[in-house]
Structure 1
């Protein structure tokens, strides 16, 4: 789904736009001089679906050069192995995510509990994926005319990061599951979901300048996107927890 020149939504499941498999998160492409950057990978249950979307948008799959993961949860990283194999792209992640994804650590990414609770079907198979680029906190890398900064945003999960993406047209926060439209967050009953860390992440994101919000589920925002962080911050400042999408 073309959003504008240089920005596409190419996967989105039941918690979004139903473009691809129901378990997929929102997956965005950002255009750079030397190829497309893909943010998150979906669940990987039916990787062929994204190729149909790419064809409809007129994007050559071979021009997708890099995949950047926000965290290890299966709806965000489960498709990484298939995409790396089929496209030859480089996979990037923060250190904690990289360790779990490379090992296929189902308990570490809370997939075991999700299967036992019926969130994922019992036959869902998570594939481990090598990670080519391990980023450090606040690290900035340049991809032609696009710069990307990794921002540690734990809370939804211990390993969660977001990316501040600066293009000639926009300053975008690829938020994963750290922040959503309306100032919402994502709280789950998993071992590494930490409400205190979520509140600290809200404070951090509300202090960052960005005009576009690209979250892992639900709608995105192309204008005045910091208002969503400000809404979440209002809750935190009142010693309340922002509302959860879950």
Structure 2
């Protein structure tokens, strides 16, 4: 069996046309049902379609044929993670990394799981550090590392991780989160002026982010700048009427608790 359908399927995956990709992978598997690579590719397409139970079936078939494929173990771990089967996910990530420890993304996913499902912040930081040794510009790993240090109340290292993140210019989904996190740390340290400067930098990047306005409101009110703080509360609620922080701040203002 040639690779024509495999190549077409991969092309469709890259275009996010997962249904078309599945058709191609199925065509190949009709003639070569024991191809572990194609079974794994089919599992990936099913995962991206959020058909997680089916994806788990096919990645398991792939690993039954070739249990040495570290990418398949990483894929199975991600499927388990999305199914909220965290123990199984961690086991699969660990197996993948035992086979090939030079996977920065898998180290990051492992660390993320340790933070969000187990609260194992120190072990998570170790995972992020191993991933960052392989890819120092992994902004996801740096962001979650900052969050882990923040949870441990190690504000100096959390600030350092935030600064490391902001030195990298590529865009990332957590960009606004880092400004908010750094601002919260500075506020805890009672460094209000620097906190305001940082949050304003965040607003330049994400001018319509309600969470940043809510954080700025928190700083201004803590710094006794009430009129500006209330203005930011209103802006946050204008952007998102359900913003929990802004609603709480407005309630406290109405009750006179912040004056």
TM-score (norm 1): 0.29
- Normalized per residue, the structure richer in helix is 2
TM-score (norm 2): 0.28
Q: Which has the higher contact order (CA 8 A, sep 6+)?
A: 1
- Normalized per residue, the structure richer in strand is 1
